[in-house]
Structure 1
Amino acid sequence: MKQLLLLFVLGLASCAQVPDAADMPKDPKALPPIILLKGDTVSKYSTDSLAKGRPTLLYYYGPACLPCDTLTQKMLAAIDTLKDVNIFFLSAGSFHDVKLYEKKYGMEKFPNVQLGLDYNNTFFRYYGGQAYPLLVFYDKERQIKRANLGSLPIDTIRAIIDK
C-alpha cells in the first residue's frame, strides 16, 4: 500500500508545470517580462512599460498576509523616499482581492506604483514565490541585485536600492 501511495505521489509530482525554456530570459539576471492584469480585469501593465533608467522593486504580496499589509503601509507612508523607484506589486490572488488591496491603499495615486494580478504566474515561474512578502530588487539597468523573503525596514530597502 505504501508503495502504491509513493507511486501516486511521484506521478503527481511529475505533472507539475515546468517553465518552458523559451519562456526563460536570455539573461537570467535581467528583469523578466511580467504582465499584470489590473483590478478592473481589463487593463494590463507590463514590466516592459516601467520607466527606464530607474531601479525597480518587484513586491510579491498576499492579500491576506499581515506582514505584507504592514510592509505596504510602511512603504506608502515613506513613498517620498521611494519616488524614484518603479514599484511593481504582484499578487497571485483573485481579481477581487487585487481590487480590494488597490482601493484599501489608494495605489492609483502613486505614479511610480503598479499593482495587479500576475495572471500568467510569470513571477512564480521565475522566482518560485511560495511565501510572502517576497521582494526582488533590480538596478537602473534592469539587472537583479537581490531577492529577499520577508519584510524589511524602509531604510534597508532604500540602502539596497542605492547600493
Structure 2
Amino acid sequence: MLILIYSFLTLTCGNDYQNKLAKKNISEIETLPEINILLLDSTQTIITRETTANKPTLIYYFSPDCEYCRRETELLTKNVNIQKAAKLIFLSYAELKEIRKYDSTYRISSLPNATIAKDYTYSFTKFIETGKFPLLVLYTGRQKLKKIFMGEVTLEILLQYIGESI
C-alpha cells in the first residue's frame, strides 16, 4: 500500500511540475538563453546561441550525488552517436570540487563535444525551476527548445529527438 501511495505522489509531483512549466512564461526558454557558467579551471564563461550554433544542444542538469544522474552520465559519455550529434553541456549547482570529482570519474571534459561546469549564478535554474534530477533540456540546431526530459531517458528516445533536432 505504501508503495502505491509513493508511486502516486511521484507521478503527481512530476505532473505538477510539467503543468507549472507549461503555465510559466515559456518564452524565456523557447530559445537557448545565455547561461553563465564556471568552468572546472575556475574561469567564467557564457554559453550563448553563437557558441552552440548549428548543432543540437543538450543541457544536462545533474547532481553529483544523484544515483540516476550517474547512470545517465555513464550512458551519455559512452555513446559516440550522441556525442557526435549534439553539443553536451553538463551543469550542476554543486560545489566546484564535487563537479571536478564527478568529471574525474566520467571524464566528461575529455569528450570533444562536451562541457562540464557549475551554474554559479543559477542562470539556467532560474528558467527551469526543479529540484528533480536528472533534467535534460534539448535545443535544436537553431537553438529552439525541442524537449524537456525529467528523470532518466533511454538512449533510443534521446537519439530520436536529437535526430529530429538537426
Counterpart residue type for residue 74 of structure 1:
L
Output the CA distance in 2 between the equivalents of 1:59 and 1:30. Answer: 16
Counterpart residue type for residue 125 of structure 2:
F
TM-score (norm 1): 0.79
Deviations 1:70-106 (A, max 9, x none): 0000111113343120111000111111111111111
C-alpha deviation, 1:28, in angstroms: 4.0
C-alpha deviation, 1:129, in angstroms: 2.6
**1:30 corresponds to:** 31
Q: CA separation of 1:45/1:112 partners in 2, compared to 1, >3 Å: closer, same or farther?
A: farther
Counterpart residue type for residue 87 of structure 1:
L
Output the CA distance in 1 between the equivalents of 2:38 and 2:149. Answer: 24
* 1:29-48 → structure 2 map (5 Å cutoff): 29-41=30-42, 43-48=43-48
Question: Which sections of structure 2, spanning at least 5 residues, go unmatched?
Answer: 1-24
Deviations 1:3-59 (A, max 9, x none): xxxxxxxxxxxxxxxxxxxxx997641101012201222x23322263310000010
Output the CA distance in 2 between the equivalents of 1:98 and 1:39. Answer: 8
RMSD between aligned residues? 1.9
Q: CA separation of 1:75/1:28 partners in 2, compared to 1, >3 Å: closer, same or farther?
A: closer
TM-score (norm 2): 0.77
Output the CA distance in 2 between the equivalents of 1:145 and 1:80. Answer: 18
Output the CA distance in 1 between the equivalents of 2:80 and 2:41. Answer: 24
Q: Secondary structure at the match of 2:72?
A: helix
Number of equivalenced pairs: 139
Question: Which sections of structure 1, spanning at least 5 residues, go unmatched?
Answer: 1-23
**1:110 corresponds to:** 111
Q: Which has the larger radius of gyration?
A: 1
Contact in 1 for aligned 2:61/2:136 (Cα 8 Å):
yes
Q: Secondary structure at the match of 2:69?
A: helix
Q: Give identity over the alignment, percent.
A: 24
